[in-house]
Amino acid sequence: MKGEVDRMTDLGTDRAAHPPELLLLLDDWMAGPGPLYTKLARALHRAVRAGDLGASARLPSERGLAKALGVSRATVVAAYDELRALGAVESRRGSGTRVAPRPVPRPAGTDGRVSGGRATALLQRMVDRRENTISLAMAAEPAVAEVREALHDVLRTDLDGLMADTGYHPGGLPGLRHALADHFSTAGLATAPEQVLVTTGATQALGLVAQLYLRKGSGVVVECPSWPGCLDVFRAAGALPHGVPLDQDGIRVDGLAQALARHRPELVYVTPTYHNPTGVLMSAGRRRRVAELCAHHGVPVVEDLAYDIGIDEGVREPAPIAAFATAGAGAGVRGAAEVLTVGSLAKAVWGGLRIGWVRGPAEVVGRLARLKALADLGSPVLDQALAARLLPRLDELKARRALTLRHRLDHLEGLLTARLPAWQWSRQPGGSALWARLPHDTDAQVYAQVALRHGVEVVPGAVTDPSGAHDSHIRIPLTLPEERLTELVDRLAAAWVDLRP
């Protein structure tokens, strides 16, 4: 068991020598004019200039890279020939192809590309946005109609008061902080306004938490797999993520206990309500055990509830982990667990509203508010005023989203069963995506290369779990209309035929 956990937890392992890892650096290499070998050479040359492929770094073999990209060996041979002609790489018998010892690096960011972590290829594609490509990189919906209604109400009744205000509220607009405190209290988690910090989306909330708790070399326990964006946020802070596997009740207690004892992390990050990307709903008992273990070890917990949209009817979501914060208090325990609860309106209302929040102990929220003030002096006031109007209707809006997602999930499952019967998945009661496994342990990064040629941008499992345990998985969002889902599965099936004739 210990060996299994060790293999699953070492997210810091560098697998850059393997062809699939190189694909993260190549980004959307097939975009642009010219034959495949020219496009591949151009992408590799860009990675060398940016310093992503360091001096003397060894490139994959021609045959290995061809297999990873789903192209012919001749394509890779021609691309390497072009790189040699440019002086970017050199080849020697017996040692393969390596980046030239003294390439001329280009400062990061000067070519307009996003750089930084394993998820950044997905972020770059948000910038590039290829036409006629179905992207599975984001699970995002258009705004609900109530946003328009709330905007009209704010303009009609609140605008004069808002414009008379300074507009600077690092902790959040007072009316929204009170509304969020009421929202938590109504859900059974007693909360005062000073326990809530309003942020510009859940991602900023995580960034502020990382800034407060983490330093270079800090350990962070995360679920395995996990949301790629959180891994980037933690690595940007210099932290080392340590993954713990999941089961149907959430993060495994035995793995969490071992990780806490072995790595002595500064933080634990979990998504208990409809985990991203698997959709697993952490049970109440498991939430209690997480609180107990973290209280015992004195490690703060960040619970990300930004994905808390149910799908199946009759499923009762347990209280947040913060409601179990005192569960670990007792003999031999430092005290109650320190829990920070992150949420947003992105899934239920609209990502364009850019409203998120952190709920936690008042003294911790005060420190986060000071960091927020340094970052931007406070989130946009009009967005917060809209959010304050919409928050009392949040449960109603979630229920409507859930109905739509349920119909789409039923439709998608029927399509996959008919067109891709060998694929596997486990239906979960919530979340905004389906976590599917490709048969025959097929590397999803290789499949992603073929799928892109069929007009589908796939998120491979390796981006969510660098340990290699989920390399054969992909995430399929449920945020596409049913007719678009039909077209998506047609393209995925055509790509699967190309990959496995």
Sign (positive or negative) of CA dihedral 213, 215, 219, 220: positive
Burial 311-342 (b: 16+ CB within 10 A, else e): beeeeebbebbbbbbebbeeeeeeebbbbbbb
pTM over 0.85: no
Domain 200-379 CATH class label = alpha beta
Residue 85 near residue 67, CB atoms below 8 Å: no
- Condensed to tens digits (0 to 9), the pLDDT of residues 253-309 reads 999 999 999 999 999 999 999 999 999 999 999 999 999 999 999 999 999 999 999
Instruction: Write down the pLDDT at residue 120.
Output: 52
Looking at 3.90.1150.180, 3.40.50.150, 3.90.1150.10, 3.40.50.12280, the CATH number of the domain 134-142+396-499 comes to 3.90.1150.10
- Condensed to tens digits (0 to 9), the pLDDT of residues 214-247 reads 999 999 999 999 999 999 999 999 999 999 999 9
Under DSSP, the state recorded for 121 is H
- Rounded to a whole number of angstroms, the CA Rg of the chain reads 24
Weakest-pLDDT range from 79-93, 125-139, 311-325, 442-456: 125-139
User: What is the identity of the amino acid at 140?
Assistant: A
Distance CA 205, CA 302 (A): 10
Q: Where are the domains of the chain?
A: 28-106, 134-142+396-499, 200-379
Quickly tell me which residue has 């151009």 as its tokens.
42
Under DSSP, the state recorded for 310 is B
- Condensed to tens digits (0 to 9), the pLDDT of residues 436-483 reads 999 999 999 889 989 998 999 998 999 999 888 999 999 999 999 999
- Condensed to tens digits (0 to 9), the pLDDT of residues 74-101 reads 889 989 988 998 889 998 877 789 999 8
Is the pLDDT reported for residue 164 higher than 60? yes
Of the two residues 295 and 327, the one the predictor is more confident about is 295
- Condensed to tens digits (0 to 9), the pLDDT of residues 17-75 reads 456 567 777 867 887 778 888 889 999 998 888 888 888 889 999 988 888 888 888 88
Query: Strand locations in 110-261, DSSP E?
Result: 134-135, 196-199, 219-224, 240-247, 250-251
- Condensed to tens digits (0 to 9), the pLDDT of residues 210-223 reads 999 999 999 999 99
Looking at 3.30.70.20, 3.40.50.300, 3.40.50.150, 1.10.10.10, the CATH number of the domain 28-106 comes to 1.10.10.10
- Condensed to tens digits (0 to 9), the pLDDT of residues 361-411 reads 999 999 999 999 999 999 999 999 999 999 999 999 999 999 999 999 999
CA 365 to chain centroid: 24
